[in-house]
Chains A and B, each alone.
Chain A
Amino acid sequence: MSMVRQVNSSKVTGQRPVEAEVTGSVRLSNVSKVFGRGNSAVRALDRISLDVPPGEFTCLIGASGCGKSTLLSLVAGLEQPTSGEVSVSGRVAIMFQEPALFPWLTAAGNVELALRARGFGRAERRQRTAELLETVRLGGFGGKRPHELSGGMRQRVALARALAQDADVLLMDEPFGSLDAMTRDLLHDELDRICAGRRLTIIFVTHNVREAVRLGDRVVVLSSRPGRVVDQFAVPIGHPRRIDSAPVAELAGRITDRLREEMTRHDR
């Protein structure tokens, strides 16, 4: 696919203060995923090649049905590609659109379970849980159950739980999609702050173009049915960014045009 533009990643990641020992990276080469067989077969992803270098914040954007979530499942190892190769270095954690918290555990219990799965002892779990809840600014809410928290707070707990897995690669599947604009805006700032202090490689799926430009070092545009990489945009805007700032709006406008072009081509 000649359309894939290679982005100079070192230049891009230079905008965000990232420490040197970032290890997580993802490489997809010619990955296809077909669901079903015969006539009812659906090609969700078609020969996707994507390179996410260590420390990069990559946003995937596309209309619904472009296989964004399938792509994340492949990277997470929850599904296997039909053809092609997915290689991931480092531990992977995932955040879904739903917080997917366990309703029988408190906020702290949810975070602690991730630490337990990694084999930490009781005292260390306690301490790390408290730190992580503090990181997502939920210091006083450890004892609350998920249903007692607001939607934004639940996603914060989910973020703390993902961070507890000490992953190198964090996959985020429209994590703020069901939140209101104000809460989302706040969580963007939080995510920036949290990423700044960690060695994280992030793949963030969204259908909100401005959100992608606000957060990403790079925005990858996918086409629908089957999902293909049709274009990529580096985001040469310094941090801190604002979702309503002129450069963000300008680039988002260009990406939206590209996306629209792709969708009308698809309709014909």
Chain B
Amino acid sequence: MTVNDPGSVSAYADESLPAYAEKLAWLEALEAEPSPDQQGRRFATRAWASVWPKLLAIVIVLAVWQLIHVSGWKKEIFPGPAATLANLGDQLRTALLWHAIRTTVQRAVVGFGLAVVIGTVVGALVSRIAPLRAAVGSLITALQTMPSIAWFPFAIILFGSNTSAILFVIVLGAAPSIANGLIAGVDYTPPLLLRAGKMMGLRRFSLYRYLILPASLPAFVAGLRQGWAFAWRSLLAGELLVEIIDQPSLGVLLTNAQDQADMESATAIIIVILILGIIVHTLFGLADRAIRRRWGLTDTM
């Protein structure tokens, strides 16, 4: 129907005035801001822009993998992508893999959560209390350089072969990074902002609450991110080392695959672990980007 179509005019003429006004307002609103449809399309373009490099990476990995498989290197024990992905598909239909994922993720959440609480409290205390800092500051950095797998004999003797031992090592691995992140953030609070805050009358607690803590946020998030990487590594090492047979976890599934020389299952579980790691990494990336945008540290508005 064209605009000049007399039929359309008469159709409006027949309508009551309020209905017409309503339609007019609706049309104006349409012009004022992009329609939901347009917004949806813009979102789709942006989503695609961030997705296609990842898809390309996956395609490259699969292609190289397939090439190695076709070349016949260790053909009898090293499966190709097709067989491995089929195995993964089969396992995803079993309750066992989901149970294992749940156990591992649960341990990660609890362990990392404990590390965040402990790391934050220690970091806050150490950054504010000078004598404590002299005593504990370098100790925290020393702990950070300690390969967490070295703690397992200690943890197993202390707690026995159970979840507590694993959580203990996760906390030891992650908390120092988190504490150090917070301490670095407090240290690098710009002196000019501190002067401005003090002149405003912010003192002690309010200075901490309204100035130092928000100013430390980017460094704190960086610490959390690093702490997570340590926690995740410690957790998987723990699940391989600490034998908790009655609770299926990703570590237990890996051990089983190794015992049965089941390369397809082992590779499938590795893919699951990789994907879980990427998901959490993406979440931290989003948090980091949100902060940077808020602070005006990015070019993209």
Please tell me if A93 contacts chain B, counting CB pairs below 8 Å.
yes
Known: A102-B215, A146-B296. A76 touches B192 (CB 8 A): no
Q: Name B's interface SS.
A: helix
Contact B199 A78 (CB under 8 A): yes
Query: Which residues of chain B in 207-262 are interfacial with respect to chain A, using CB atoms and an 8 Å cutoff?
Result: 210-211, 214-215, 217
CA distance A148 to B296 in the complex (A): 8
Q: Which residues of B lie under 8 Å from residue A98 when comparing CB positions?
A: 192
Please, what's the 1-or-0 string for A88-125, where 1 marks a CB less than 8 Å from any CB in chain B? 00001110101010111100000001101110000000
Please tell me if A145 contacts chain B, counting CB pairs below 8 Å.
yes
Q: Which residues of A lie under 8 Å from residue B297 when comparing CB positions?
A: 147
Q: Which residues of B lie under 8 Å from residue A146 when comparing CB positions?
A: 296
B192, B198, B215: which contacts A104 (Cβ < 8 A)? B215
Please tell me if A25 contacts chain B, counting CB pairs below 8 Å.
no
Q: Which residues of A lie under 8 Å from residue B192 when comparing CB positions?
A: 96, 98, 100
Contact A117 B195 (CB under 8 A): no
Please tell me if B196 contacts chain A, counting CB pairs below 8 Å.
yes
Residues of B within 8 Å of A, CB-based: how many? 19
Please tell me if B146 contacts chain A, counting CB pairs below 8 Å.
no
Please tell me if B131 contacts chain A, counting CB pairs below 8 Å.
no
Please tell me if B202 contacts chain A, counting CB pairs below 8 Å.
yes
CB nearest to A99 among chain B residues:
B196
Please tell me if B295 contacts chain A, counting CB pairs below 8 Å.
yes
CA distance A93 to B195 in the complex (A): 11
CB nearest to B207 among chain A residues:
A117
Contact B195 A78 (CB under 8 A): yes
Please tell me if A165 contacts chain B, counting CB pairs below 8 Å.
yes
Contact A94 B199 (CB under 8 A): yes
Please tell me if B206 contacts chain A, counting CB pairs below 8 Å.
yes
Contact A104 B199 (CB under 8 A): no
CA distance A92 to B99 in the complex (A): 64
Please tell me if B200 contacts chain A, counting CB pairs below 8 Å.
yes
Please, what's the 1-or-0 string for B99-120, where 1 marks a CB less than 8 Å from any CB in chain A? 0000000000000000000000
CA distance A100 to B191 in the complex (A): 10
Please, what's the 1-or-0 string for A212-243, where 1 marks a CB less than 8 Å from any CB in chain B? 00000000000000000000000000000000
Please tell me if B53 contacts chain A, counting CB pairs below 8 Å.
no
CB nearest to A76 among chain B residues:
B199
Please, what's the 1-or-0 string for A118-154, where 1 marks a CB less than 8 Å from any CB in chain B? 1000000000000000000000000001111000000
Q: Which residues of A lie under 8 Å from residue B193 when comparing CB positions?
A: 100, 102
Q: Which residues of B lie under 8 Å from residue A105 when comparing CB positions?
A: 214
CB nearest to B199 among chain A residues:
A94
Q: Which residues of A lie under 8 Å from residue B200 when comparing CB positions?
A: 93, 113-114, 117, 161, 165
Please tell me if B46 contacts chain A, counting CB pairs below 8 Å.
no
Q: Which residues of B contact A (CB under 8 A)?
A: 192-193, 195-196, 198-202, 206, 210-211, 214-215, 217, 294-297
Instruction: Sort A-B residue pairs by CB-CB distance and give the 9 closest, nearest first.
Output: A147-B296, A117-B201, A100-B196, A103-B295, A104-B214, A117-B200, A114-B200, A100-B192, A94-B199
Besides A93-B200, A100-B196, A105-B214, 4 more A-B contacts (Cβ < 8 Å) are A102-B214, A114-B201, A161-B200, A165-B199
